[in-house]
């Protein structure tokens, strides 16, 4: 065997060792690794990921501009990071289609629509969940010049929102508590429900007088603009101790099961970049607003509102407990089914499905947790 052969380079010669001895050692090692497959797997490096598509959002545009995403993904060999507009505010549900077809590695929605996506068959897993929501996040809005002053005044009127969104879950609870329940499925309530999947179209319908109220995240650019300009007023908010704030309105990041199993380190990189961005924004709010304004093409005042208003939902703490996350899903599913939910009522998530839906590896105590 020559000194420059690959075998000699990989296995330096030992005094008195013959090729037969070396082969014997290799066979022995192979047998031992077969007995303990975890030992072989432990030596496997994380698979490289040359490019990744991430959702375009407030924090990701900041993280991209500051280089936080590039630094987080560098160990995975990721050279191309594309920020893709999921289109959720233009047409609800597009983020699930992008995720399912490989157009996005991760998607963000509140927990209720994420659960509905699961009920509709998407093979995804929740890899991060926020803590409880807030009553400021998804209020009921009316035109400033409308005679409607409280949600009780909406009896016989129409409220517009995307059915599979917080624009339905939040007012369902608000209006029920006020004694003027919203339409649910085929059950008519005191307030008509108009399903409008686009935030822009929903706001336009309100301002034109086609509908009397809407419910939406006022931290979204289109809603923030009309709110800051004084064209709309808040007439109702979710109760702080209610099911929306504490369960259905939590923010979730979810990924396809296959991606989560193959590239868990890519998800960890995403979550660590998010934590780093939040810390930077807290120290540099004006610089962060300037980046958001430039990269998302909104006025600086709107960008600052999106970042700092209590209704904002991208810069909140996570829920470290996988069991608490599963409990939140079970709680709001039971509540909405009791209210007559026509989607989860027909296709409820079983306890076993919910157990697997929340990927415990990314929560406290898991193998890929960002929680210390």
What pLDDT, on the 0 to 100 scale, is given for residue 45? 58
pLDDT digits (tens, 9 = 90+) for 16-65: 444 444 334 333 334 433 433 443 444 455 568 999 999 999 999 999 99
Residue of 207, 192, 208, 203 whose CA lies nearest to 155: 192
How far is C-alpha 65 from the chain's CA centre?
Answer: 21
What pLDDT, on the 0 to 100 scale, is given for residue 44? 54
What pLDDT, on the 0 to 100 scale, is given for residue 14? 38
Location of structure tokens 């517009």? 160
Given a contact cutoff of 8 angstroms between Cβ atoms, the answer to whether 319 and 131 are in contact is yes
CA dist., res. 155 & res. 262, Å (int): 51
For the purposes of burial, counting CB atoms within 10 Å of the CB of 71, is it exposed (0-12), middle (13-18) or buried (19 or more)? middle
Q: Which residues of 250-274 are buried (b: 16+ CB within 10 A; e: fewer)?
A: bbbbbbbeebbeebbbbbbbbbbbb
Residue of 223, 166, 164, 168 whose CA lies nearest to 193: 168
Residue 213 CB partners (closer than 8 Å, separation 6+): 140, 141, 142, 148, 151, 154, 157, 158, 159, 160, 171, 206, 235
Residue 152 CB partners (closer than 8 Å, separation 6+): 178, 179, 180
What pLDDT, on the 0 to 100 scale, is given for residue 46? 59
pLDDT digits (tens, 9 = 90+) for 3-27: 343 333 333 333 444 444 433 433 3
pLDDT digits (tens, 9 = 90+) for 195-209: 998 888 999 999 999
How far is C-alpha 115 from the chain's CA centre?
Answer: 11
What pLDDT, on the 0 to 100 scale, is given for residue 331? 96
Given a contact cutoff of 8 angstroms between Cβ atoms, the answer to whether 99 and 255 are in contact is yes
pLDDT over threshold 90, residue 295: yes
pLDDT digits (tens, 9 = 90+) for 229-262: 999 999 999 999 999 999 999 999 999 999 999 9
CA dist., res. 122 & res. 116, Å (int): 9
Handedness of CA 93, 96, 100, 106 (dihedral sign): positive
Do the first three CATH levels of 51-134+247-362 and 140-237 match, i.e. the same topology?
yes
What pLDDT, on the 0 to 100 scale, is given for residue 185? 79
Please state the domain extents for the chain: 51-134+247-362, 140-237
What pLDDT, on the 0 to 100 scale, is given for residue 198? 85
What pLDDT, on the 0 to 100 scale, is given for residue 87? 63
Location of structure tokens 């624009």? 167
pLDDT digits (tens, 9 = 90+) for 320-329: 999 999 999 9
Can you name the residues that pair with 130 across neighbouring β-strands? 318
pLDDT digits (tens, 9 = 90+) for 182-195: 998 788 999 999 99
CATH architecture classification, 51-134+247-362: 3-Layer(aba) Sandwich (3.40)
CATH number listed for the domain at residues 140-237: 3.40.190.10
Tell me which of 22 and 217 has the higher pLDDT.
Answer: 217
Given a contact cutoff of 8 angstroms between Cβ atoms, the answer to whether 255 and 368 are in contact is no
pLDDT over threshold 90, residue 159: yes
What pLDDT, on the 0 to 100 scale, is given for residue 26? 34
What pLDDT, on the 0 to 100 scale, is given for residue 92? 53
Secondary structure (H, E, C), 307-358: HHCCCCCCCCCECCCHHHHHHHHHHHHHHHHHCCCCCCCCCCCCHHHHHHHE
How far is C-alpha 238 from the chain's CA centre?
Answer: 21
């Amino acid at each position: 065997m020559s000194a420059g052969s690959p075998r000699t380079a990989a296995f330096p010669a030992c005094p008195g060792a013959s090729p037969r001895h070396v082969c014997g050692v290799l066979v022995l090692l192979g047998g031992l690794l077969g007995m303990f497959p975890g030992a072989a797997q432990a030596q496997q490096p994380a698979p490289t990921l040359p490019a990744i598509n991430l959702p375009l959002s407030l924090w990701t545009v900041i993280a991209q501009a500051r280089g936080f995403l590039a630094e987080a993904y560098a160990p995975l060999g990721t050279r191309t990071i594309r920020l893709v507009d999921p289109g959720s505010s233009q047409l609800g549900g597009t983020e699930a289609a992008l995720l399912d077809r490989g157009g996005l590695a991760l998607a963000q929605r509140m927990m209720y629509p994420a659960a509905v996506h699961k009920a509709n068959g998407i093979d995804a897993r929740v890899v991060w969940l926020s803590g409880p929501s807030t009553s400021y996040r998804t209020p009921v809005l009316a035109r400033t010049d409308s005679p409607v002053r409280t949600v009780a005044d909406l009896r016989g009127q129409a409220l517009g929102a995307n059915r599979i969104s917080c624009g339905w879950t939040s007012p369902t609870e608000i209006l029920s508590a006020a004694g003027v329940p919203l339409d649910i499925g085929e059950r008519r309530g005191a307030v008509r429900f108009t399903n409008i999947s686009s935030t822009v179209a929903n706001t336009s319908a309100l301002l034109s007088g086609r509908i009397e109220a809407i419910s939406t995240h006022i931290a979204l650019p289109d809603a923030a603009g009309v709110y800051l300009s004084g064209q709309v007023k808040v007439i109702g908010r979710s109760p702080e101790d209610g099911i929306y704030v504490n369960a259905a309105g939590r923010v979730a990041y979810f990924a396809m099961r296959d991606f989560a199993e193959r590239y868990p380190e890519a998800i960890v990189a995403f979550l660590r970049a998010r934590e780093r961005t939040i810390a930077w924004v807290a120290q540099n709010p004006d610089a962060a607003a300037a980046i958001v304004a430039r990269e998302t093409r909104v006025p600086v005042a709107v960008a600052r509102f999106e970042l700092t208003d209590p209704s904002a939902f991208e810069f909140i703490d996570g829920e470290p407990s996988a069991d608490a996350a599963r409990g939140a899903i079970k709680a709001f599913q039971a509540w909405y089914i009791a209210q007559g939910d026509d989607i989860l009522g027909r296709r409820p998530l079983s306890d076993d499905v919910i157990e697997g839906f929340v990927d415990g590896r990314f929560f406290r105590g898991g193998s890929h947790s960002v929680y210390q």
